[in-house]
């Protein structure tokens, strides 16, 4: 049934791409990202936080980004939700992209946690994501789905620095499951987005994953991505975000070698994350006091 719906929504297509895409310019975009230096000299690395429903592909996206920078398929983030639920359990972990040799990293870091779920008491608590946005969560803290982090907990940072805070919030959404997301998951994501906006306007965007599973034409050729009316219209209405803040990608899952067209889509999305975050850090204060939370 899901496959039938996915095929149906992709039957309608535009005559030409609705977004200009820099096909063939992978190395140009990649080099600009590798050369990136944060616009605020007091901040060494920008922090991008990925959240979304279970199975959206957050960890796969981080692996994808690292693979493109390293030039081969890698796996630095746990990408199996079932294993995560059994062992690592919603740990707050920072993922870095190694630069050339061990111990040197690019100034872009990523955080992700276990996905949001429809039922209460499962998945990460939305209040913990809001705490992470504010910079209150220590590295390695294990979240409790039943009880969000409080000021009394060991994993709570009372006075976060500007580097502890999140500089760009990315909602990772599975294109093939958009129509079947529960209303509680959608509401949790909206609450998180509203909280991000209230925090001095943390920039936000959506990365749409599993587009090849949602659209047969994209599965055949990833360059058909911006011919899809489904991506442009349905997802914007569902999430309540502007179309120019929705960036579709096709994650690696079967491939064992890099694909230039897939990489271009990913790098275009990453460039927007970096641009949004850099604009944000130029205007934030050096420290956030407890009263300013």
Q: What is the pLDDT of residues 167-208, one digit of tens each?
A: 999 999 998 888 788 888 988 999 999 999 998 899 999 999
> What residues have CB less than 8 Å from 276, skipping those under 6 apart?
167, 168, 203, 204, 205
Domain ranges of the chain: 1-283
CA distance 168 to 33: 16
Lowest mean pLDDT among 76-85, 148-157, 190-199, 201-210: 76-85
Q: Which of 214, 284, 256 is nearest to 67 (CA)?
A: 256
| Euclidean distance between CA atoms 268 and 55, whole angstroms | 22
Distance in angstroms (rounded) separating the CA atoms of residues 249 and 63: 13
Measured CA to CA, the distance from residue 183 to residue 30 in angstroms comes to 37
pLDDT confidence of residue 181: 86
Give the least confident one: 73-77, 212-216, 255-259: 73-77
Give CA–CA dist 24/40, Å, rounded. 31
What's 1-283's CATH class? alpha beta
β partners of residue 171: 51, 206
Q: How confident is the model at residue 3 (pLDDT cuts 50, 70, 90)?
A: very low
For residue 212, give both structure tokens.
Answer: 């090849």
Higher pLDDT, 291 or 134: 134
pLDDT surpasses 90 at 122: no
Q: For the chain, what percent of residues have pLDDT higher than 90?
A: 52
Confidence band, pLDDT 50/70/90 cuts, at residue 9: low
Query: How many CA atoms, within 13 angstroms, populate the side-chain half-sphere of residue 286?
Result: 2
The residue to which tokens 């079967």 are assigned? 254
């Amino acid at each position: 049934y899901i496959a039938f719906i996915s095929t149906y929504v992709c039957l309608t297509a535009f005559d030409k791409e609705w977004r200009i895409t820099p096909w063939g310019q992978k190395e140009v975009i990649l080099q600009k990202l590798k050369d990136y230096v944060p616009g605020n000299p007091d901040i060494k690395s920008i922090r991008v936080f990925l959240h979304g429903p279970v199975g959206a592909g957050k960890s796969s996206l981080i692996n994808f980004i690292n693979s493109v920078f390293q030039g081969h398929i890698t796996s630095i983030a746990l990408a199996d939700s079932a294993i995560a639920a059994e062992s690592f359990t919603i740990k707050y972990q920072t993922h870095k992209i190694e630069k050339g040799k061990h111990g040197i990293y690019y100034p872009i870091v990523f955080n992700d946690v276990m996905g949001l779920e429809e039922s209460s008491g499962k998945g990460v608590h939305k209040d913990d994501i809001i705490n992470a946005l504010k910079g209150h969560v220590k590295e390695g803290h294990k979240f409790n789905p039943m009880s969000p982090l409080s000021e009394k907990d060991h994993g709570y940072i009372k006075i976060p620095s500007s580097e502890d805070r999140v500089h760009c919030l990315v909602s990772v959404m599975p294109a093939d499951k958009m129509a079947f997301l529960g209303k509680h998951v959608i509401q949790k994501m909206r609450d998180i987005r509203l909280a991000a906006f209230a925090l001095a306007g943390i920039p936000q965007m959506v990365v749409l994953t599993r587009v090849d599973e949602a659209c047969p034409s994209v599965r055949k050729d990833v360059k058909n991505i911006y011919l899809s009316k489904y991506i442009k219209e349905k997802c914007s209405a569902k999430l309540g975000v502007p179309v120019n803040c929705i960036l579709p990608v096709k994650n690696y899952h079967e491939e064992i070698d890099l694909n230039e067209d897939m990489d271009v889509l990913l790098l275009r999305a990453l460039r927007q994350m970096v641009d949004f975050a850099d604009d944000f850090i130029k205007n934030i204060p050096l420290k956030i006091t407890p009263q300013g939370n």
